[in-house]
Amino acid sequence: MTFKRMIHAVETHSGEPMRVITGGVPHIPGDTVYEQMRWLEANDDQLRQLMLREPRGYPPLCCNLVVPAKHPDAAAGYIIMEQVEYPVMSGGNTIAVATVLLETGMIPMQEPVTEFNLEAPAGLIGIRAECRDGKVTQVTFRNVPAFATHLDAIIDVPTLGKVTVDVAWGGMFYVIADVRQFEGLDIVPARAGDIARVSSLVLRAAQEQLEVEHPDYPGIGITISQLSGPTDSPGADWRNAVTVASGAVDFDDPSTWTGAIDRCPCGTGTCAKMAVLHAKGELGLDQPFRHEGMLGNVFTGHLVEEVDIAGRGGVVPTISGQAWIYGFSNYVLDPTDPFPHGFSVGDIWA
């Protein structure tokens, strides 16, 4: 039987489901992984839609495409795909890709520690993987520099009123709000719908009212939101819920006031939060920061270096966490399939 596409993937999760494509995608032009990402976005966005929309995908799913590295110091490259964008960096996805490359033998595993570089669209990401009995038990990655752009900014949010937020880059631009501003709202799975509603409104308001700029990525704005608060867990320092958009937010259309909660503690979101805490004098270098996700799982971050980013103070973070492989899949596209780009329905999608 002839198919229009056949894609091989490894299914992983850190709570958050993160698919890793290991075969079935032909050569992608570009001299860097960033250029390849831009080419894919402009010329073959069907791949992202096919993998992330129904029937092969669902709102919280992320996807990664493993590609040969372009940088001479990298062992492999990867392109990150999410529901509404191609992020230049993602922490949970980086942990997933490193785990897949090692546990499937695409990169030779050395026990007890394997070290190598990956090339993300954002550049070289250092990997230190702790390994035992053929399994990756923890991945620590050294991220691109993070920095805060707005501290304690006040925005006007329809239906919510004035909300105080921080904005920071951790590989994506996050708007971060303390959950205690919203009476009766806790970061627990049972309140996920309310968290997504509040977060989507805060995101849209921040996009309209707060300007951001990254010196290396002109045109990238605030694309993701984080509610943040204290935790009762002795194994964590802070708790968060990151909401990933599944479509555009329209203040006049309440059906769009939603999104998908990140099921893991969010690596780039943790980096952004650490950058904010450092800028406020609340987190020093080499101080562990244990960030808890909604499910109770934890990523541990450290700030290892202070840097200058186009005249702005920044920090270099590391994040440690674990991913688990739960399946191997072959996806195909039948030539007669009436939905060659997948589909979404308004019961669970924005």
What's the CATH number where 23 sits? Answer: 3.10.310.10
For residues 38 and 99, membership in a common domain is answered with yes
**pLDDT score, position 350:** 84
For residues 81 and 173, membership in a common domain is answered with no
What's this model's pTM, rounded to 2 decimal places? 0.96
- Locate 295 and state its tokens: 């499910």
For residues 111 and 219, membership in a common domain is answered with no
> What would the pLDDT profile of 198-248 be if each residue is shown by its tens digit?
999 999 999 999 999 999 999 999 999 999 999 999 999 999 999 999 888
The number of folded domains in the chain is: 2
For residues 192 and 271, membership in a common domain is answered with yes
Least confident of 46-50, 155-159, 245-249: 245-249
- Residue 345 inside a domain? The answer is no
Q: How deeply is 210 buried, as exposed, middle or buried, from its count of CB atoms within 10 A (0-12, 13-18, 19+)?
A: middle
Average pLDDT over residues 84-108: 97
State yes or no: is 90 an active-site residue. Answer: yes
For residues 301 and 236, membership in a common domain is answered with yes
Confidence label for 1 from pLDDT (cuts 50, 70 and 90): confident
Strand partners, 153: 165
3-state class (DSSP) for residue 292: strand
Q: Which of 14, 90, 200, 228 is flagged as catalytic?
A: 90
Q: Where are the alpha helices (DSSP H) in the chain?
A: 33-43, 46-52, 91-103, 192-209, 267-279
For residues 102 and 187, membership in a common domain is answered with no
- Locate 335 and state its tokens: 């030539």
For residues 329 and 304, membership in a common domain is answered with no
Question: What's the domain range around 201?
Answer: 147-316
Nearest to 280 by CA among 182, 178, 172, 163: 178
- Residue 343 inside a domain? The answer is no
